[in-house]
Structure 1
Amino acid sequence: MDPIQDAVTFFESQEPGEELSYTEVAKRYNINRVTLARRHQGVQTTRAAAKVNKQKLSHEQEIELVEYIEGLTQRALPPTRAIIRNFASYIAGERVGEGWVTRFMHRNKDSLTSQWTTGMDRKRHHADSEAKYNLYFDLLYQKIA
């Protein structure tokens, strides 16, 4: 435990009639008096607690999101960053930014890997046009008729 938490515990363990000042307890534990007073009054929390309260999703929600992403990937539907962002926004009940997705991927780098998909071949790209499809199906219709 950290000394501030020890001092808060000591302060709370005293009898109701016993008078102790924050200055005395702070000197005893060699800590800042203002920090002790704020922590004892509930105005300030530890950095770890503040970090947890600041996160958009809880640890359990992030685990569920990772499992959902893995399930999509196994079904050959790997989500994009935008899709992950939309999922997280829906779960959190508020909009998350692009930076959140980056931090999420970094926090879960052991479970998630991102990679670029291979692009479409140039010849296939040029062959893919609405006019060519219409011509093909018109010819096919004429042959059948």
Structure 2
Amino acid sequence: MPFLVSREGNARLLTELLGGAAPEDWRLGLFNSAVTPSETDTAATYEAHEAAFDGYERKTLTRSVSESTWNAPIQQAPAGSPPWSSRERVAHSRYGSAPRSWTVGASGDVVHGYFIVGAASGALILAEQFAAPRALHPGDTLSITPVFEVA
């Protein structure tokens, strides 16, 4: 399932794009309940179900373009199988050259998806539920490569 941008995320993105607000960094988190993302969700929706395994903490996604942060946007076919858009080309940017990873310590959890919130505003930007929950056991590693695509 592609990620869903929340209403408050849409407002925040437009404020940054059109209103002159400085882009804030984002925080990538994981949720451990079967929450189906909805455009009416807020950060509280996911914070109430935030992952709780040993070794978990939110990852900062710095809002800049470089090899170690958001890659320079390119035009390419939409991602996914099946692709999320019927358009031939979409704007695409991947975060960094390596995935953001968590290694599970002594206690595990079951992760159902991820969410991104504004580091300063706390606004929910987007969320995505995995196709299937992922049971994490001590010693497991979960990796996510954030990708942002717009058509």
Same fold at TM > 0.5: no
> What TM-score, normalized by structure 1, do the two folds share?
0.21
Largest Rg, 1 or 2 = 1
Bigger RCO of structures 1 and 2 (CA < 8 A, at least 6 apart):
2
> What TM-score, normalized by structure 2, do the two folds share?
0.21
Larger fraction in strand: 2
